[in-house]
A = this chain, B = another copy of it.
Amino acid sequence: MTTLNIPMPREQLERIVRQAVRENFAQRLQSGEQQLSAAYTSNLVVNVSARHLHVSQEDLEKLFGPGAELTVYRWLYQPGEFASQQTVAIIGPRRRTIDKVRILGPVREATQAEISFTDSIALGIDAPVRPSGNIEDTPGCAVFGPAGVLELTRGVIRAERHVHMNPADAATYGFQDRQYLKLRVRSDCSTVFENVLCRVDSKVLLEVHLDTDEGNACDLVNATGVELLQ
């Protein structure tokens, strides 16, 4: 359960409504209303995921005490997802530590830490590149919360670059679920990221997730354009 201490902001509600309109357009397009094609435009957003933790309810309670709940610090772009007020410290071998790692909510089935390669080097953990949720045979770490320590035996990964996409956007672009795409970012450090995993789901908004190394490599903050390529 999540305590909705901060209401969803108006702009997020607006995005969800716009998305519903786009879905409707897409369905009508697919049933042959060709004159609508000019009306549908995908809105490609690229965001950087800073290092973070996903936690199970059980692990959350180990870290923050019995009955602990995640509370909203900031709503994320995807409906219902949020950066929580709860932060932890991640400790790697030889006691190297990264403090103030934010937990993203809502709680999930399995606990997993998503870090960049820069973090991986700082911690001394050889984190493999994995799609979120695919944590078999990955290294672990220790996680310190205010109420306890969690010994993760696995779950430290570098999240594989990916794009969340709903069926309407996938239809517009002609992309398939689980396909690998390319993302081109135009800036003073223009970069084409290959191996961008396409994840189609009807509940999501169109959004690419990079990590901080990737965001910094292409100077995403000052980018003048982004495009998805086959």
Contacts and interface: CB of A to CB of B under 8 A. Distances in A.
B191 A117 contact: no
A192 to B, nearest CB: 4
- A interface, size bucket: 20 to 34
Interface in A98-128: 116-118, 121, 128
Nearest to A210: B217
A214 B212 CA distance: 11
A217 B219 contact: no
A195 B219 CA distance: 12
A213 B118 contact: yes
A193 B191 contact: yes
A194 B190 CA distance: 5
Interface string A161-201: 10000000000000000000000000011111111000000
Contacts of A194: 190-192
B189 A118 contact: no
A196 to B, nearest CB: 10
Contacts of A219: 117, 129
Contact of A117 (B128, B195, B216): B216
> Which of A118, A190, A217 gathers most chain B CB within 10 Å?
A217
Interface of A: 116-118, 121, 128-129, 160-161, 188-195, 212-214, 216-219
A-B pairs with the 6 shortest C-beta distances? Answer: A217-B217, A117-B216, A192-B192, A190-B194, A213-B216, A129-B188
Given A121-B216, A216-B217, 11 more contacts: A116-B216, A118-B118, A129-B188, A160-B188, A189-B193, A189-B195, A190-B194, A190-B195, A213-B213, A214-B217, A217-B218
15 contacts: A116-B216, A118-B118, A118-B212, A118-B216, A129-B189, A160-B189, A188-B195, A189-B193, A189-B195, A191-B192, A191-B194, A192-B192, A193-B217, A213-B217, A217-B218
